[in-house]
Amino acid sequence: MIRTEGTFFARTEHGGHKVLADDTGFTVCWPSGKKSYPSARQTILALVNQAPDLTPSGSGGLKDPRITFDRYFRRGRKYRVTPMNLSLDVFSLFTPKNPVEVDARPDVVRGIDLAKRGHEVRKLFYAGFGRRVARYGYDPDDVLQEVYKGLLVRNRGKCPFDPAKSSFGHYVHMVCGCIVSNYRRKYARLEKNEQFGVENLDGEIIDVRDADLVITDADQDDRTHSRSVLDGIQGTALLQAGEAGIATELAEQCLSLMAEGYRKKEIVQMTGESDYAIGKAIKFLRRVARDWTQRGGDPA
């Protein structure tokens, strides 16, 4: 029998029960009550197999770890486990183990080098915005140049590309979205104040060469000739307006406003007539003007 005295505790995986040792034997404080064992081997067998009612005659087929009392309870310098240092501050758990290595790490280069990754930017732009830009009526290559310009500006600004904050694809897609929105907003203002082409009877903007406009001489100094042309068209229109189902006063008013350069929508607003009535009158006047010029000014 091992000659030892004191209080010990079983290992955690075996329940951590208190074990009292003296010169008479060993006593284990089980949850069901205290049990005494004559030897260290019987005590360890009971603890390892969680068998409080171990028979004194033997192990009875139970698992025998075959270790000594000192090894099981980690007694002596040979089996002693160095306790953990629990005096650390909580914030120290989040401190890098080797600050020197962190400081020595090279700085991450921010921004996008277009000389190396410009082709990637181009692929991302065309994949995400190519069709949209073409649908707006813009040249995709022109918008792509604006994207390159925007990336270069951001490289020198406050929000360059940083791989620690976002992926390359996400950053480029975000910049492309901003550039396309700004590009469209810019040209929407121009389109609001400028008009390329003329409006047809259906309200569509078409090229001037495809429009059915009154053909007159370009000599603006010959006011007499211009007036005679307008008077000739007006006279013919007034004679034929009734046959075409158009009020004479409306035909005369539309012709006067058209000669001054007003468009269909403006004439509708100024006369207060319906869009259909003004469209019918304008179509009639253009047909009269075309026929009149083809006959060389003959009122027929």
Q: What is the pLDDT of residues 185-235, one digit of tens each?
A: 888 877 666 666 666 666 666 665 566 554 444 444 455 555 666 766 777
Quick one: which of 209, 204, 214 has its CA closest to 283?
Answer: 214
| Cβ-based neighbours of 200, under 8 Å, separated by 6 or more | 206, 211, 212
> CA 270, CA 272: separation in Å to the nearest integer?
6
pLDDT category of residue 300 using cuts at 50, 70 and 90: very low
Report CA-CA distances (Å) from 92 to 86, 96, 104, 178, 188: 11, 8, 20, 43, 57
pLDDT of amino acid 92: 59
State the number of CA atoms in the 13 A half-sphere of 278 facing the CB: 23
**CB 297: neighbour CB atoms within 10 A?**
12
Quick one: which of 189, 112, 183, 185 has its CA closest to 143?
Answer: 183
The pTM for the full model equals 0.34
Region 79-108: what's the mean pLDDT? 56
pLDDT of amino acid 142: 92
pLDDT of amino acid 3: 55
pLDDT of amino acid 247: 83
Mean pLDDT of the chain: 77
Q: In the beta sheet, which residues pair with residue 29? A: 18, 34
| Cβ-based neighbours of 96, under 8 Å, separated by 6 or more | 102
**CB 257: neighbour CB atoms within 10 A?**
18
- pLDDT tens, 249-272? 888 888 888 887 888 888 888 888
> CA 165, CA 174: separation in Å to the nearest integer?
13
pLDDT of amino acid 2: 46
Region 19-24: what's the mean pLDDT? 86
More confident residue, 135 or 57: 135
What sign does the CA torsion over 249, 250, 255, 261 have?
Answer: positive
205, 197 Cβ separation under 8 angstroms = yes
pLDDT of amino acid 152: 93
Place of tokens 């406050």: 158
Show the tokens assigned to 112. Answer: 């996008």
pLDDT of amino acid 105: 47
> CA 212, CA 233: separation in Å to the nearest integer?
15
> CA 239, CA 292: separation in Å to the nearest integer?
13
